[in-house]
Each structure stands twice: as structure tokens, then as C-alpha cells.
Amino acid sequence: MRNRSAKRVFVLVAFTLQLGWMMCAQVGPEADRNPLRPHALTYWEGPPRTIPQQLTDHHIPLDTASVLAALRNPDPKIRSLAAMHLGGWDRVGAEKHMEAIPAIETALSQETDVLTKMSMAAVLASMNDKNGVETLTSMCEDHSAHPGIRLDAAAVLFRREAPGVRTPS
């Protein structure tokens, strides 16, 4: 009985992950209108690359000054990785660079890519910064935004236990 129940949960989780992958990696004429497409999931060989490994793959040194400069990189993925590195998302127990909050706030205010903006806001929220929480809350309340973006912003707020999350009335 217990194995059957575990198998059902596994199948449900696998189906949900596959459905999510299909939504992110859609092809055809709809792909151009999907804001999640530029960051679609891909398959890779071996374990996933860590944030520091991905930064060094893009020739970004891991010293604080270089990572701060990477917040202005033309590639949105690099800007997002730089914010996550500064926020201590590299590994459990990683150092958060609290002195980088003003630089991440400035980058967030100038960000045009919606997923990078969400990453930066999530990093700021994890550092207990009010601007990160406010940005995520406004993303949740933006009815013109893609539903996936709104759901992801809400999920980040709940995971971070950020204040200011309102329930629908």
C-alpha cells in the first residue's frame, strides 16, 4: 500500500516537472511570446554547474569588485548569477555580501529582463531588503504580466517568508 502511494506521488511530481519543462521550452510561433523562453530548461551532461562555476565559465573573476561589475554585464544571465553570488546563494552557509545591497538595488531599478529582475528582487528579499520585497509584491499584482512570472514571484515571497504578502480578498 505504501509503495503504491509513493509511486503515485513520484508519477505526479514527474508529470508536473515535465509539464513545466514543456511550458518553458515551447517551440513554434508561441515561443516568441513566452517570456520564459530565453531561460528555458536545457539538458546537460553531468551535475549542474554551481553559480561560481558559471561565472568563471563566462570569465568573471569571483572577487567582490568583479562580481559587482558583472551586475552591469549585457547578458541578463550573468547579471542574475552575479546578484545570486553576492546574495550568498552559492551554497548553504555562503557569505552574504551585505555591502552589495545598494549596487543590487541600482541594478534592479535599471533591469529590463523580467526573470533577471525577479532574481535580483529575490536576492534582495533574502537579504531582508525592503526594495526586493516591494518589487516581488508588485510583480505578483501586475495583471498584465505572464501568469508564470506572477506565480514565481509569489512563490519566492512565500519561500523567503517576506512580509507584505497579501492573500486575495
Domain co-membership, 83 together with 38: no
On whether both 39 and 56 belong to a single domain, the answer is no
For residue 141, name the pLDDT band (cuts at 50, 70, 90). Answer: very high
Residue 129, pLDDT score: 92
Within this chain, do residues 39 and 60 fall inside the same structural domain, yes or no? Answer: no
Same domain, 153 and 169: yes
Domain, as residue range, for 27: 1-43
Report the alpha-carbon distance of residue 70 to residue 81 in Å, rounded. Answer: 9
* Domains held by the chain: number: 2
- The residue with greater pLDDT, 139 or 20, is 139
Check whether residue 37 and residue 70 sit in a common domain: no
Residues 86 and 166 occupy one common structural domain:
yes
My answer on whether 119 and 134 are in the same domain is yes
pLDDT at 86 over 80: yes
Which range has the worst mean pLDDT, 27-31, 39-43, 84-88?
27-31
- The CA distances from residue 40 to 23, 115, 124, 144, in Å, are 9, 11, 24, 21
- Looking at the structure, tell me whether residues 32 and 66 fall in a common domain: no
Cα first-last separation, the chain? 40
* CA distances from residue 154 to 48, 77, 119, 129 in whole angstroms, order as listed: 25, 21, 13, 16
pLDDT value at residue 33: 47
Q: Is the pLDDT of residue 77 over 90?
A: yes
Q: Using 50, 70 and 90 to split pLDDT, how confident is the model at 137?
A: very high
